[in-house]
Amino acid sequence: MIDFIKGNSLYISVALGIILGAPLIRRKATKIGLGSTPKLIGVCALFSVISVVSVLLFASIESFLAGKGFSFGAISTYGLYFISPVILLILFYKSKNSKELFDMYSFYILPSMILQRIRCMLNGCCMGTLIGSTGLRWPTREAEIVFYIAMIFILSKKEKKTNSGGLFPLVMIYYGTFRFVVEFFRETPNHDVIHMAHMWSVLAIVIGLSIYAEFKKTGGKRV
């Protein structure tokens, strides 16, 4: 059973992500006429496809930038914050509900990311560095799971006070900040203190702050 889960962990996490993500976006989906079960499942399936394509594509880009050529199969969660919004914009820019869809996606990816980190724990990747000579490692994967759970509650509160479309840049800022810190405690192939993930984290923060500043200036209206 464990071997089956490991071998199909990506697909299992996507399926569970749909099951767990749907309740988080149902209220917003209902507001824009997508709350019926068939439509909600359709939205979740679309979000899942976008997410999988994004993490695979961004990992390939990272591999190319690292001088290893394009390599498909690995995943990079930064794809959710750099590739996914581009796809969403292409698909829904002219939709009157584009801002609500971005808010829904902000919630939807959180359960999936929790499951992805559990997947990492099963596959033995994304480990923390050793804590001195104790033989123990920094619990980076566990910390990220706690972060995503906290984000669900934080966004639930922010949603009530933020105009539609304001959640995704906040997610970029929070995630970039968290990952920038946690990367100092994560094991990397070259054992570098500063590495590519720090650059992506800073970029996520800068882009998130820029979008959110513009969002606040315009009151959430499309410009």
Domain contains 155 = yes
Residues recorded for the chain: 223
Q: How many domains are contained in the chain? A: 1
Domain span holding position 214: 2-218
Please report whether residue 223 resides in a domain.
Answer: no
What phi and psi, each to the nearest 5 degrees, are found at residue 130?
-70, 140
Q: pLDDT by residue for the chain (223 residues), tens digit each? A: 666 665 666 677 777 778 888 888 998 899 899 989 899 989 999 999 999 899 989 989 888 887 777 777 678 889 999 999 999 999 998 888 899 999 999 999 998 888 888 888 888 888 888 898 888 999 999 999 999 999 999 999 888 888 888 899 999 999 999 999 999 998 876 667 678 889 999 999 999 999 998 887 776 554 4
Q: Is residue 103 part of a domain?
A: yes
The verdict on pTM exceeding 0.85 is yes
